[in-house]
Structure 1
Amino acid sequence: MRIRTAGVVAVLGLALAASGCGDNSKDEPAAKDSPKAASGKLVIWADDKRAAALKPFGEKFGQENGVTVEVQAVSKDLQTNFVTASQQGSGPDVVVGAHDWIGNLVQNGAIDPVQLAAEQKSAFNETAVKAVTFNGQVYGVPYATENIALIRNTELAPEAPKTIEDLVASGKKLKAEKKASEILCLQSGQNGDAYHIYPLYTSAGGYLFGTAANGDYDPKDLGVGKPESIAAFQKIAKLGEKGDGALKRSITGENSIATFTGKKCAYLVSGPWAIADAKKAGIKYDISPVPGFAGGKEAQPFVGVQSFYVAAKGKNKALAQEFVTNYVTKPDLAVALYNAEPRPPALTAAFDQVKGTDPDLAKFSEAGKNGQVLPAIPAMAAIWDPFGKAEAAVIGGADPTKTVTAAGKTISGQIK
């Protein structure tokens, strides 16, 4: 594990100053008093980009509270390294990561619920709060949301396609005119990509997990292998290499964006992370929802949320709660993290602050407004590999019924 310290503030040797920005909610109290930490040090783990953005805020929090704050960048396998370090008692007090880690982290006893007051929760995007809620408890403070959309080269495709069939027809015409070499850049590769194919899978009627009465995903109701999923993959197969040729295994996570910025395809299914490359390449682009199948359901992308977590085995849990509940909830930190990596802020005040300077923000949010929260239940870990490989096989021409039925059995066996 490669960890480097991104910022350390001097210990001021002072008792923690009292502070509070919670409300008087009796059932959901916010942390009202800054805790007294035994060692006076708060350790935060994040990836490289976020660690750099957090540095000045860590320094400010440390100065205000008389503690040392170390923001450490973990470059690879942050979730795995955090769980391992937690079990060994050598982990951080706060970790920053995706909401779909929650099921695994809770299962491993690695994180505690966070103490957000009702008033604080209401300041966030509702979907973001739902994403960090697991088994009825809030386990993280969200700071950004993300989802994929259709990004198109407006010089090649002036109008947003209303259906995937319209997109394919437009892409085929561009190929025939030798204005593009690919119909669509939607990454698959040899192992598939469940995340990027999901909007088309849902539009065709497929689902991963059903939901329980309380709205939580139900791992006992597995959709993969059911008739709906087979029908969905039959539609996806028609877009594949033996069909329209819109979906190809040669389009991968490594080349999909580059193929689009190289003007070899007019349509790219990707997220906000692709925009910097499009701008650098001078592509004139627009953003719209991923189109679904004609006569099908709405195409629903996954909605992911980036969040701050309190380590269950951290040395300064009270100080960590203070940081995530009463400091991370401030708009200036959310805006700084947005500037480090432009994903829509989960905090409404921060979103409103930056949307005027970034027209793409509202378009990505619109594309994800009816999306599905990426399941955070532990059973989701069993989905990715078998589902992806089934997708790639079907795109390559394998029989959808046999392939998806087999994938369902594999997933079901892993969940049990």
Structure 2
Amino acid sequence: MLTRRHALGGALIGTTLLAAGCSSSDDGGAGEPSAAPSSSGAPVRGNEELVIWTDELKIDAIKQIADTFASANGITVGVQAITDLQANFVTANTAGNGPDIVVGAHDWIGNMVQNGAVDPLQLTAENLTSYAPIAVTAVTYNEQLYGLPYGVEALVLYRNTALAPDEPGTLDDAFAKGLELKSAGTVESAFNLPVGELGDAYHMQPLYTSMGGYVFGRNADGSYNPDDLGVGQAGSIAAAEKIRSIGEQGSGVLTRSVSGDNSIALFADGKAPYLLSGPWARADIDEAGIQYAFQAVPGFAGQQPAQPFAGVQAFFVASKGKNKAFAQEFVGNAMNTEESMKAMYEGAKIPPTLLSLQESEVAADPQLQAFLDAANNGAPMPSIPQMAAVFEPLGQGYSALVGGADAPTTMQQTGTTIADAIAAA
């Protein structure tokens, strides 16, 4: 099961490797070669003329597009599935063992640019007017376009319609219904938001923003300002008070027994009426066969709208790839078509960024609109390098609050921890 929390770009702590794939194609198509670790522990690119690194979720869709590109250009293209993708890519690129193209999250950009690991695309934002604006904004860094966006994801509120027939207008409505069902013994959990012992800052973001909290402030052009840290400020403390009030020492809506390991499964098994999750949860829920609906996450009554992080998946050109001309051609032209974008959507099931594809896919699957609304109303995950210092301490702060820790003290200490880490980087 893939969760967004596990895919977050954060501090590059290790470079553990497991490369999927076992054979290389000899027919000019897209192979899936094994990648032996280098002396640095990072994987090594295959022997093909153009090499693409991605994860297991996307490899089949990319191979389909790469096969066509390989045949049209008379070259070999290898597609490799790599774990710990961001860390391994940066390390391998520095050593000259990396791919020509890497596929990953937009919030890696700041770290990759800081490490000189990616080149700007030979496209501009003006070339991408057929894509959702939030996606183009997300892959633009320091006024340069670094990625071709193909998928966008954000949290939505799933609801078991057999347990909770009515769509909640606010989070308070959802909490009240969940507690009613839990008190009656109908469900085990009133509201499934992953907390666990380590916390989960990504999934808590809609609640945090509805109460006025923010992570980093924004400049006039919409870019994030690393000098304006909102954690520890008034809005974050108001959010902390709210989170504590619905935790284990308050109403009990949130508990540390619900984590990224069981939140989706509990909902799919009918043991929770609500689940805060993203498009990656839908396959497991569909397989379970329960009746459900989903909507953009509502805010608290009388407070600001809930604003989840919007994550954009994109194709990037490596700075030290062995065939950068073909890499730019593949990303800027071969991928930049409705046919390729449809292949990515059908293969990875991440809501598309291409506007024409959004329209056609929503016509076929109206519920997809809720995912798109959630992403369009969200805020791009900060891609600045300073974001690497945020998720771990903020998650731990949230877990402590759910456990009953003092709200002002916890949030102010968390802000200090983050600020110190940023200053030391």
* 2-structure distance, mates of 1:369, 1:133: 16
CA drift of 1:357 comes to 2.4
SS of equivalent to 1:96: strand
SS of equivalent to 1:210: strand
SS of equivalent to 1:310: strand
Aligned position for 2:147: 140
> Is 2:61–2:348's contact at 8 Å kept on the other side of the alignment?
no
Residues 81-129 of structure 1 show CA distances to partners (whole Å, capped at 9, x for unaligned) of 1011011100000000000000000000000001125553101111000
SS of equivalent to 1:179: coil
Aligned position for 1:362: 369
Once the two structures are aligned, what percentage of the paired residues are identical? 49
Structure 2 length-normalised TM: 0.89
Aligned position for 2:74: 66
> Is 2:134–2:380's contact at 8 Å kept on the other side of the alignment?
yes
Amino acid at match of 1:10: D
Kindly report structure 1 stretches of 4+ aligned residues shifted beyond 4 Å.
none
CA drift of 1:154 comes to 0.4
Pairing partner for 1:8 from 12, 20, 25: 25
**Which residues of structure 2 form unaligned runs of 5+?**
1-16, 30-46
Q: Is residue 316 from structure 1 mapped to residue 323 from structure 2 by the alignment?
A: yes
CA drift of 1:368 comes to 2.8
Give the total of aligned pairs. Answer: 389
* 2-structure distance, mates of 1:286, 1:47: 29
Aligned position for 2:406: 399
Q: Is residue 259 from structure 1 mapped to residue 266 from structure 2 by the alignment?
A: yes
Q: Is residue 124 from structure 1 mapped to residue 131 from structure 2 by the alignment?
A: yes
**Which residues of structure 1 form unaligned runs of 5+?**
13-38
Residues 190-226 of structure 1 show CA distances to partners (whole Å, capped at 9, x for unaligned) of 0110110000000000000011122110000000011
Residues 17-66 of structure 1 show CA distances to partners (whole Å, capped at 9, x for unaligned) of xxxxxxxxxxxxxxxxxxxxxx9811001111211111121111011111
Q: Is residue 99 from structure 1 mapped to residue 113 from structure 2 by the alignment?
A: no
Amino acid at match of 2:68: K
> Is 2:152–2:375's contact at 8 Å kept on the other side of the alignment?
no
Aligned position for 2:4: none
Pairing partner for 1:379 from 383, 386, 390: 386
Pairing partner for 1:335 from 332, 337, 342: 342
1:181-200 paired onto structure 2 within 5 Å: 181-200=188-207
Q: Is residue 306 from structure 1 mapped to residue 307 from structure 2 by the alignment?
A: no
1:17-416 paired onto structure 2 within 5 Å: 41-74=49-82, 76-117=83-124, 120-416=127-423
**Range with greater deviation from structure 2 (352-361 or 267-276):** 352-361
CA drift of 1:375 comes to 0.4
> Is 1:94–1:311's contact at 8 Å kept on the other side of the alignment?
yes
* 2-structure distance, mates of 1:129, 1:92: 24
SS of equivalent to 1:175: helix
Larger radius of gyration: 1
> Is 1:152–1:285's contact at 8 Å kept on the other side of the alignment?
yes
Amino acid at match of 2:305: E
SS of equivalent to 2:420: helix
Structure 1 length-normalised TM: 0.91
CA drift of 1:11 comes to 4.6
Aligned position for 2:39: none
**Range with greater deviation from structure 2 (320-329 or 352-361):** 352-361
CA drift of 1:328 comes to 0.8
CA drift of 1:361 comes to 1.1
> Is 2:150–2:352's contact at 8 Å kept on the other side of the alignment?
yes
SS of equivalent to 2:400: helix
> Is 1:7–1:59's contact at 8 Å kept on the other side of the alignment?
no
CA drift of 1:360 comes to 2.4
Residues 260-291 of structure 1 show CA distances to partners (whole Å, capped at 9, x for unaligned) of 11111100000111111111111110111212
* 1-structure distance, mates of 2:26, 2:297: 45
CA drift of 1:174 comes to 1.0
SS of equivalent to 2:57: helix
> Is 1:149–1:368's contact at 8 Å kept on the other side of the alignment?
no
SS of equivalent to 2:240: helix
* 2-structure distance, mates of 1:176, 1:11: 62
SS of equivalent to 1:167: helix
Residues 125-177 of structure 1 show CA distances to partners (whole Å, capped at 9, x for unaligned) of 11000000111111100000000100000011111111121111111111222
CA drift of 1:7 comes to 6.3
CA drift of 1:5 comes to 5.5
CA drift of 1:9 comes to 5.7
SS of equivalent to 1:172: helix
> Is 1:9–1:70's contact at 8 Å kept on the other side of the alignment?
no
* 2-structure distance, mates of 1:118, 1:377: 19
* 2-structure distance, mates of 1:387, 1:283: 33
Name the Cα RMSD after superposition.
1.5
Amino acid at match of 1:94: I
* 1-structure distance, mates of 2:125, 2:187: 52
* 1-structure distance, mates of 2:196, 2:88: 27
Amino acid at match of 1:274: A
